[in-house]
Structure 1
Amino acid sequence: MTSHKVLHGSAIVLAITNAITAIGLLLVSGWFIAACALAGLSMTAILFNYVVPAAVIRFLAISRIASGYGEKAVGHSSLLTRLNQIRLRIFSRQLAEQSPNDLRGEAIEHLDQGAQAHANWWLTVFHPNVSNMAIIVGSTVILGWLAPNTLPIWVAMVALNGVVIIWMWLAHDANTKRFYQGQRAARSELEYHLESASLWPLSTHLASAARWKGRSRTWLQHRFIARIIDAISESFLILSSGLAICVLLILGSSSMHGSALLMLPVMLLLAFPDWFGNSTRSIQPATHARAAKAAMVTTTQNSALESNVGSSYTVYLGTPQGQPNAVFEPPISLHLKRFQWHYDGQQSVRFGKSINGRFNAGQMIWLKGGSGSGKSSLLKAMAGLIQSRGNIAINRESLEHLLPRQRLALIHYVPQMPYILSDTIKQNIVLAQPVHARVSDQQRKETQLIVQAEQLTQALEFAGLTWQPHEIQQWVGEAGRPLSGGEMKRVGLARAFLWDAPIWLLDEPFEGLDTASITHIQTQLQAMKNNRLIIIASHIWPHQSEPDITIDLDD
């Protein structure tokens, strides 16, 4: 920690030195050129001392280069040291409270972005503004000493642009907040749209896709607004600098006309947009650092509000947009009121059959109808995978405010042909296995692995998969052994068993299976329905049992 403070202090000193030598080089060079010209015109060139100013200019130039490179080297070393410390502190605290598997990609990204922004703030925000303060103070002292008549113009110039910086801060701060909100919303929709598609096949017309397009456009608009704010401030700097030079030359003291000292305020004003622009350009990184830090704090506070589905089916969900948390406790009941799937295509608009009713845990629902009647579409609409109209609620708690991943924690959809990843059979199934708390004790780790292995065995038995332990290590998918249609369906059922959601939506689970397999699956489903609701869309129904409720979409 001490070495970090030394590096940081050295970087600040070098940044101030670089700024002072830069402005000193500018002023001395400008004065020297004007003095040389005046000496030549006044026939006093032979008496003019060129050596001392030239030596000062070279010294300032070398000092500026050395301090500039030194600030970059020391500053970046301090940045990396600070970044490592912040990351270690944040992630150590998070991992002490929860499993590393519980830290989702979005949460990790927020934490890392916040750490980077906080560490980078010193280089992108603090150093430029400290340097500019040194330049303003030094320039004010020099002008007050050598050209006091120009000091009011200089002070007015700095004050006016100070007001611009305040305006920029307010504008960027408001825009950055909206930018981060839109970014999080767009990424949430995009993650769901892309990542969920590999496991739960979706149609090309998704509500999530439409929402993502709208939110991504809003997100890009905020980026465009940020560029407009920066362009306005840069233009104002240039215009105000030019106006100040004109006022100085027109209204300036006549006593300075013909004096090389007149070049001092002129050179300062000419360079004003460049060095003062460092402050205006630091506003956007400053607001982003503030927003990223706020997102990081929110992530650390709300990480415990992730979905948690256990064997009791009590689901605690932290809902977005400040709405109250929803607690779904057993027994689960599904309420549909004028609920129908909705297809809004470019050439046509279609609606499914309106469904009303209450369906309870312990029931098995048969959703039947001819080909094209909308059985699969209705299941996807219930799971929130496609657009829908009407009301859907669990325990009379509406699902409209839930994020897609939260909704899928409650309602598990098994498609007709589950997607098979290019991986082992085991990994294709255990990807749906619930995440357990991280344990450090070796004996507890071994116990946890035994429990997970037992759950996998139970899932295979439930789905009627008779693979041996060495067989589930086979590579399947595009790069491995292709699975038959029946095997793919049963992999989907095994995933549902491990996912352990209180509501199952099964799309054609019996199609393509032999009689023995159908009998086994139906028997297992009858046993599983005791503490969950199972809705099956199918052309056929096994003769071994009768559904509790039948919904015919052809009626």
Structure 2
Amino acid sequence: MNNTKPAYITLLLALLHGVAGISILVISSWFIAVSAIAPVGFNYVIPAVVIRALALLRIASGYASMWVGHNDLLARIANIRLSVFSQLENTQINEKALTTEALAQHTEELASRWIAWIAPLSSATFIFTCLCVVAVGFGFPGAGLLIALFVVWSIALVLQGVGALRIAKRATHANARFRQASTNFLNSSAIWHLSTAFTNTREGKTTCADESHTLQGLEHDVATNREAAEVSAPDINIKDVSAKVVWHEKIAQKNTADRTAWWFQGVAFLLVVLTMSGAFSITQTLLFAPIAIVVPMVLLAAPDWAGNAFSSISKFAQYKQSVKALQQMKATPIKMLCEREINTAVTLTEFSVTGRRTSKVNTNLPARGVVCVSGASGCGKSSLLQGLAGLLPADGKREIDGVNMPPGLVTNWRYVEQEPVILSGSLALNLDPAGRCISHSEFITLMQELGLEKLLPLTTWVGKAGRPLSGGERKRVALARAILAKPRVLLVDEPFEGLDIHTQQRVCDVLNRYATDKLVVIASHVTPKALVVQKNVQLDEASMVAVNGEHRATL
């Protein structure tokens, strides 16, 4: 991030591009006026050659500015994201609205500031200032009109900037509310039937014989699940958090910039009309001094070379909001534990995740091999894996070879989530985000073993947050990323979901091979025959017995 040389080069090229453009306008307007009154023998070649050279310079500087700017943009995105990753290292984000996609958007806004608003605004300001100075210095007829338009442009820029900041703030809050509500809405989708049943029971629509018992049970289940999900489907105010609100704020930002540009264009055209109609003394000068046509032509073209600044102000407003969002990002530290070797077993005693309605587990996990945690949906398989990894606080004991482990995340244990995070980048970036210099052959071999040959080569862009990938492909990419990290314990959540039988076989082969000298714990409601399971842990209701009012899994 400290290397600002490419950014300055981008700025200089943008200035050169703008200066070349306005120079073409000035020389062309003068050339047209001179051609009308030029005497015999006037050399038309030199002005034409100068205009052609300026046109080539404008094209070259434009392409060069884009090339240098976008290369600088990619480097800055990488550096800023590494900085954010460092900031979030060994921590957990508290806000559900600050998703990976939101972080990607904010980092892009920070990285693109040079080509998004610094270069355009600097170029327009520099050109406008130079035009006014040159017009006054050389005594151009109508220089006062140019200064007046510069003042109008500056005022419009400030006013639009104030409005853009307000809209950007509303848009950021609307986006955050929408992401939060969407997460809560989807998290509670599994209990919507409970809400419906609870409502029907309240309305007297139940036909259950023991109505009071049913009512109490539903009331308890709905309350418990709502607390876990924070909000259920009926609690969401769609009007306040719908995507339409977010879209409306984005449209408002664009409309504000367009409206300001139209007003500025109207003022510029009005000055041109007044000039040509004889309202100013410059009209008389046009008949005797061809140079006087320069100012009206500059005024006429002002919306083209100065109007883009209003869109840049909107980008500036979004940049300020992204800076604020990243500065206010709250994360809870996760205690990191040193790497632990397992000689005999991992023992769980009365183990359960804190605050989750799950059973207390008592079992021994072997030092190596595949352990399959199975059970009905909602019985706590994912919670068990996250608690075992140390991502969630847990009660009870978690011991390695008889030694109790304190709360925290073990450095060489990896958890592969059910809905994995895919970065907006290349396949290689997703497989090795930390840049551990993994060999190319190791990448290729694992991708082929997992049936991901179609995604090769490693430079393949996986799209925005991996959206072009299927659910099964995202799962296997995340699994490959975890395996390449070579963890001592690999915890995988629902790796076979959404995969056909043939692909399940390939994933099983990879997991079986990895489990020859490592511990692999898999939470799944599907257990393919090809998976060599060392031990089964059942967490469904049938395997729970009530002891002193508590639930314990009998394993």
Which TM-score band applies after superposition, normalised by the shorter structure?
0.5 to 0.7
Higher CA-based Rg: 1
Match of 1:286 in 2: 316
Q: 1:98 aligns with which of 91, 94, 111?
A: 91
Q: 2 CA distance for matches of 1:23 and 1:124? A: 21
Q: 1:440 to 1:63 in 2, by over 3 A?
A: same
Q: 1:288 to 1:430 in 2, by over 3 A?
A: same
Q: 1:12 to 1:474 in 2, by over 3 A?
A: closer
Match of 1:73 in 2: 67
Match of 1:129 in 2: 121
Matched, 1:193 2:185: yes
Gaps of 5+ in 1: 307-407, 415-422, 454-468, 482-489, 494-516, 530-555
Match of 2:31 in 1: 32
The alignment partner of 2:411 has SS state of: coil
Equivalent residue runs for 1:502-521 within 5 Å: 521=544
Q: 1:303 aligns with which of 324, 331, 335?
A: 331
CA contact (8 A) 2:169 2:321 kept: yes
Q: 2 CA distance for matches of 1:111 and 1:175? A: 20
Match of 1:237 in 2: 264
Q: 2:273 aligns with which of 235, 239, 246?
A: 246
Q: 1 CA distance for matches of 2:56 and 2:487? A: 67
Cα deviation code 1:291-323 (max 9, x no counterpart): 111111111xx11299xxxxxxxxxxxxxxxxx
CA contact (8 A) 1:19 1:134 kept: no
Q: 1:491 to 1:55 in 2, by over 3 A?
A: same
Q: 1:69 to 1:201 in 2, by over 3 A?
A: farther
- The code of the aligned residue for 1:54 comes to A
Query: CA shift at 1:130, angstroms?
Result: 1.1
Equivalent residue runs for 1:254-293 within 5 Å: 254-293=284-323
The alignment partner of 2:546 has SS state of: helix
Number of aligned positions between the proteins: 359
Match of 2:11 in 1: 12
Q: 2 CA distance for matches of 1:143 and 1:262? A: 10
- The code of the aligned residue for 2:292 comes to L
TM-score by length of 2: 0.57
Query: CA shift at 1:280, angstroms?
Result: 0.6
Equivalent residue runs for 1:61-460 within 5 Å: 61-95=55-89, 97-98=90-91, 106-198=98-190, 207-208=233-234, 210-216=236-242, 217-249=244-276, 250=278, 251-253=280-282, 254-299=284-329, 302-304=330-332, 412=357, 425=374, 429-433=380-384, 434=387, 435-436=391-392, 437-440=408-411, 449=489
Q: 1:102 to 1:157 in 2, by over 3 A?
A: closer
Q: 1:36 to 1:228 in 2, by over 3 A?
A: same
Q: 1:67 to 1:136 in 2, by over 3 A?
A: same
The alignment partner of 1:304 has SS state of: strand
Match of 2:43 in 1: 49
- The code of the aligned residue for 2:26 comes to L
The alignment partner of 2:43 has SS state of: coil
Cα deviation code 1:22-44 (max 9, x no counterpart): 100111112112211232xxxx2
Cα deviation code 1:234-291 (max 9, x no counterpart): 2102211111112322213323334321221122111111111121111111111111
Q: 2 CA distance for matches of 1:447 and 1:279? A: 51
Q: 1:200 to 1:207 in 2, by over 3 A?
A: closer
Q: 2 CA distance for matches of 1:442 and 1:473? A: 13
Match of 2:452 in 1: none
Root-mean-square deviation over aligned CA pairs: 4.0
- The code of the aligned residue for 2:16 comes to T
Q: 1 CA distance for matches of 2:486 and 2:289? A: 86
Q: 1:59 to 1:258 in 2, by over 3 A?
A: same
Gaps of 5+ in 2: 200-231, 335-352, 360-371, 393-407, 415-484, 493-514, 530-537
Q: 1 CA distance for matches of 2:358 and 2:29? A: 75
Q: 2 CA distance for matches of 1:284 and 1:165? A: 10
Q: 2 CA distance for matches of 1:447 and 1:10? A: 44
